A and B are shown apart, each in its own frame.
Chain A
Amino acid sequence: MDLERLLILSGILFCIGLYGTMSRRNAITVLMSLELMFNAVNVAMVAFAKYIVPLGVQDHLGRLLTGQMFVVFIITVAAAEIALGLAIVIALYRNRETVDITEASLMRR
């Protein structure tokens, strides 16, 4: 389990998520792609936490868990984001009868 290949896997997942976020019309797919990106970042965080020891804090207990703490909070924020995002999607659908985000142009100009 090398650090490098975990980071590359994380990068692949992140790029797939980024592509989905930028290229899809369905708002729910965009949100799912965002979740993919969050997961990619989480994988990278845990990989760093496992393989990299930050200099200067080596004697601090639990130093190897800092990255995992980040992941805990990222998961929290991701859950909040998906709840709010889906609420917006449903509100959009109620007002416009569509979840196509290219139709959601109310705030343009």
Chain B
Amino acid sequence: MFQEIAFWALSAAGVGGALGVVLVRDVFRAALLLVLVFMTVAGLFVLMSAEFLAVVQLLIYVGAVAILIVFAIMLTREVQQGNLPNRLHLPAGILTALLLAAFVYVVLDTDWNQQVGLADIQPGQEQLVQERLEARGLGWVSEAVQSNTVGGLPVDWEDGVERQILERIGEVPSILEGRSSDQPTREVTALETEAQLLQAELILLEQGRLVARLHPAFAEEFQAATGPTPPSEDLMNALNAPDSPVQDVVEIHPKAQGNITWWVGPDGELQGQDRWWLVGPDGDLKYSVVPGQASGTLSVNGQSVTVENFPVLNIFEGRYEQAEERTGIGDLLINDYMLAFEVAAVLLLATIIGALVITRER
């Protein structure tokens, strides 16, 4: 909600300021309106979680470019003559209006290959979602999509799926009725996992780090259904041992008494390595959840455990790296874009020399 308001306010200020830059007759005021546009763009960067760029935008554009422009206006003393249009302003207006229409048409007409979690599914996108789910080995979700049911309950496509799945969390214990909670079926486990992932995603976004846990509502209901069984001390000792594959237990949700608990590494590392652990009711390791590859053999607590092929909705990939953004740009600049960095530095040097040569007194 706040993001919506901020986006529309920034958009209105940005477009109004940009129109002012072009149309206001006083060049000096146009320069000040340009500063306003720069600031709204910085605000948009923040909204798009590009904080570093927002700071750079403020420092370079507002701090340097705007000052430079104001200096140039002062030095050229044409403020009184103002900002007149040339002869071509009418054809230019028509041309840019046509270009804008073309932009809008292309943007709306293109099927952008957006990274959709289940959160972003819109009515009419069922086919697309199904293809992506099948590509991830999530046939059961795909079937649910086809039959318009999730966990045996009908899906209302008009209403967005993520929220419905989150609502289904409360339904899982009722699905478990008549089945042994020690041996949940693949379907139920997968549904739980998905709900956890969806919830964990929200927590990840809130905290900027990875702390996965169960949805509190689900934990309470599940606890009420199964009764408390704390994790064994042996397991805790094994997990906390120096040579444990899990370096640190960030959080143990009360859900440990029930069916599944998430364990997360010290820095919340998710990418690439075995960092996610599903622990069963007896404290034994059930599954290691690795994004995109959820099977293999693991050794914990002196025991070798074969991990089943566990369906995992891999919605974390993108979001996780966003959380790492602050250090990411520096890494990229030093490692991957070193040559471009050097070229930009040489370009700036050439610019300095060029500006000095151009403005030199003869």
Docked-complex contact A9 and B112, CB < 8 angstroms: no
- Give chain B residues whose Cβ lies under 8 Å from the Cβ of A12: 15, 18, 100
Q: How far is the CA of A92 from the CA of B354 in the complex (A)?
A: 15
- Give chain B residues whose Cβ lies under 8 Å from the Cβ of A16: 15, 18-19, 21-22, 96
Docked-complex contact A28 and B27, CB < 8 angstroms: yes
Kindly report which residue of chain A lies nearest to residue B22, judged by CB atoms: A20
Docked-complex contact A25 and B86, CB < 8 angstroms: yes
Docked-complex contact B103 and A11, CB < 8 angstroms: yes
Q: How far is the CA of A69 from the CA of B50 in the complex (A)?
A: 11
- Give chain B residues whose Cβ lies under 8 Å from the Cβ of A50: 48-50, 322
Q: How far is the CA of A14 from the CA of B71 in the complex (A)?
A: 25
Distance between B170 CB and nearest chain A CB, rounded to angstroms: 29
- Give chain B residues whose Cβ lies under 8 Å from the Cβ of A3: 112, 114
- Give chain A residues whose Cβ lies under 8 Å from the Cβ of B65: 35, 78-79, 82
Distance between A57 CB and nearest chain B CB, rounded to angstroms: 11
Say whether, besides A19-B93, A75-B60, A24 and B359 are in contact (CB < 8 Å): no
Kindly report which residue of chain A lies nearest to residue B50, judged by CB atoms: A46
Main secondary structure, interface of B, reads helix
Find residues 17-67 in chain A having any chain B CB closer than 8 Å to their own CB.
17-20, 22-26, 28-29, 31-33, 35-36, 39, 42-43, 46-47, 49-53, 55, 58, 61-66
Say whether, besides A15-B100, A49-B50, A32 and B359 are in contact (CB < 8 Å): no
Docked-complex contact B76 and A93, CB < 8 angstroms: yes
Docked-complex contact A63 and B321, CB < 8 angstroms: yes
Distance between A49 CB and nearest chain B CB, rounded to angstroms: 7
Docked-complex contact A24 and B86, CB < 8 angstroms: yes
Give the interface centre of B37, B81, B108 by most chain A CB atoms within 10 Å: B37
Say whether, besides A32-B69, A75-B56, A78-B65, A65 and B89 are in contact (CB < 8 Å): no
Which of these, B31, B53, B93, contacts A23 with CB under 8 Å? B93
> What are the interface flags for B104-132 relative to A under an 8 Å C-beta threshold, 1 for contact and 0 otherwise?
10011000111100000000000000000
Docked-complex contact B37 and A39, CB < 8 angstroms: yes
Decide yes or no whether B332 CB sits under 8 A from chain A.
Answer: yes
> What are the interface flags for B52-77 relative to A under an 8 Å C-beta threshold, 1 for contact and 0 otherwise?
11001100110011001101110110
Docked-complex contact B53 and A17, CB < 8 angstroms: no
Docked-complex contact A33 and B22, CB < 8 angstroms: yes
- Give chain B residues whose Cβ lies under 8 Å from the Cβ of A32: 21, 30-31, 34, 69
Docked-complex contact A46 and B18, CB < 8 angstroms: no
Decide yes or no whether B1 CB sits under 8 A from chain A.
Answer: no
Size bin of chain A's contact surface: 35 or more
Find residues 2-49 in chain B having any chain A CB closer than 8 Å to their own CB.
3, 7, 11, 14-15, 18-19, 21-22, 27, 30-31, 34, 37-38, 41, 44-45, 47-49
Docked-complex contact A36 and B48, CB < 8 angstroms: no
Which of these, A35, A61, A63, A93, contacts B75 with CB under 8 Å? A93
Q: How far is the CA of A6 from the CA of B83 in the complex (A)?
A: 29
Instruction: Please choose the segment from B235-243, B256-264, B344-352 that sits at the chain A interface, where 4 or more of its residues have CB less than 8 A away.
Output: B344-352
Instruction: Please choose the segment from B147-155, B206-214, B273-281, B333-341 that sits at the chain A interface, where 4 or more of its residues have CB less than 8 A away.
Output: B333-341
> What are the interface flags for B94-106 relative to A under an 8 Å C-beta threshold, 1 for contact and 0 otherwise?
0111011001100
Q: How far is the CA of A32 from the CA of B26 in the complex (A)?
A: 13
Residues of A near any B CB (own CB < 8 A) = 1, 3-9, 11-20, 22-26, 28-29, 31-33, 35-36, 39, 42-43, 46-47, 49-53, 55, 58, 61-66, 68-69, 71-73, 75-80, 82-84, 86-91, 93-94, 98-100, 102
Given contacts A1-B3, A8-B107, 17 further A-B contacts (CB under 8 A): A1-B7, A8-B108, A11-B103, A11-B104, A13-B37, A15-B100, A23-B22, A32-B21, A47-B48, A51-B115, A52-B112, A69-B329, A79-B60, A79-B64, A83-B68, A90-B359, A99-B78
A to B CB contacts below 8 Å, 26 in the list:
A8-B107, A15-B97, A16-B96, A19-B22, A26-B81, A28-B78, A29-B22, A29-B83, A35-B61, A36-B22, A46-B53, A50-B50, A53-B115, A61-B328, A62-B331, A68-B52, A71-B50, A72-B53, A79-B65, A80-B347, A84-B358, A89-B72, A98-B78, A99-B78, A100-B81, A100-B84
